[in-house]
């Protein structure tokens, strides 16, 4: 009768020559199982740490953006009732999303039902699909929205570009921009992270009185209230930023939210 004792079977396996095919296959299998378990365990353990690090990075960027916007530091220090709040917005309606909070947003975005595929003619930022919900930051003074801070993203020359774009309460001018992620060419497109270039966004109009989108990164020095200076030698990156801003401030992006603020409904 065969010995079914697992310890005995293990000893027989170890006694096999190292070049034995069964021994080689079993060791390879056990090694892959152990590695998969370690990777899975590390992912589970590190996920909260990574989320906390991302939240801390966003907070640092947010504070830096606010401090760089002309007049914001004075406004916050002089008005105790002026505070930045976080809201998850339904981009289709421009209203606060139902049943989704900042704490549950990441989980909600894992559901493909919360994404909208974009037609090529609508996909200015080259995203492929747009999330239907987004976390935005709102600075209110009393009942008045003084500032919207909007996460934006698009495809650059070498990879994704992500940023936070601040819009003044008039819903026609940009208050500031900070790039939070980019992989553009060092010394060229990567200059979009330079504070001096980002500072040029303050006061730039993105739409005219009729609501038509006019924003652009110029090919050289800006020549109108709707432009920011271009970056020499980085035409593709400049064009990517133009398309990204136009998309997110247009009807496929935060347009419904901007219109709701204009009507006093947000």
From first to last of its 266 residues, the chain has per-residue pLDDT tens of: 455 566 776 667 667 676 777 767 777 777 877 777 777 666 666 555 655 566 566 667 666 676 667 566 666 666 666 678 889 999 999 999 988 998 899 999 999 999 999 999 999 999 999 999 999 999 888 888 989 999 999 999 999 999 999 999 999 999 999 999 999 999 999 999 998 999 899 999 999 888 899 999 999 999 999 999 999 999 999 999 999 999 999 999 999 999 999 999 88
Task: Tell me what pLDDT residue 148 has.
Answer: 93
DSSP state of 221: S
Q: What is the pLDDT of residue 58?
A: 60
> Burial level of 165, CB count in 10 A (0-12/13-18/19+)?
buried
Torsion of CA 238, 244, 245, 251, to 10 degrees: 150
Taking Cα atoms as reference points, which of 53, 26, 46, 93 lies closest to residue 260? 93
């Amino acid at each position: 009768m065969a010995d079914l004792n697992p310890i005995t079977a293990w000893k027989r396996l170890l006694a096999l020559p190292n070049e034995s095919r069964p021994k080689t296959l079993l060791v390879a299998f056990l090694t892959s199982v152990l590695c998969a378990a370690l990777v899975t365990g590390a992912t589970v353990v590190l996920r909260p740490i990574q989320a906390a690090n991302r939240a801390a990075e966003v907070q640092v960027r947010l504070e830096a953006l606010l401090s760089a916007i002309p007049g914001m530091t004075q406004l916050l220090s002089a008005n105790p009732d002026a505070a930045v709040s976080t809201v998850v917005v339904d981009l289709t309606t421009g209203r606060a999303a139902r049943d989704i909070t900042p704490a549950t947003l990441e989980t909600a975005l894992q559901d493909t039902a919360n994404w909208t595929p974009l037609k090529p003619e609508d996909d200015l930022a080259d995203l492929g699909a747009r999330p239907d919900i987004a976390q935005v930051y709102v600075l209110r003074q009393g009942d008045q929205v003084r500032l919207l801070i909007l996460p934006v993203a698009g495809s650059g020359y070498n990879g994704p570009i992500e940023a936070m774009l601040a819009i003044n309460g008039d819903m026609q001018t940009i208050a500031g921009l900070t790039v939070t992620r980019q992989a553009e060419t060092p010394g060229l497109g990567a200059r979009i992270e330079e504070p001096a270039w980002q500072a040029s966004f303050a006061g730039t109009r993105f739409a005219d009185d009729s609501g038509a989108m006019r924003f652009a990164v110029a090919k050289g020095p800006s020549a109108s209230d709707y432009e920011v200076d271009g970056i020499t030698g980085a035409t593709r990156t400049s064009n990517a930023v133009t398309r990204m801003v136009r998309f997110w401030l247009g009807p496929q992006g935060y347009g419904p939210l901007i219109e709701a603020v204009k009507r006093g409904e947000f």
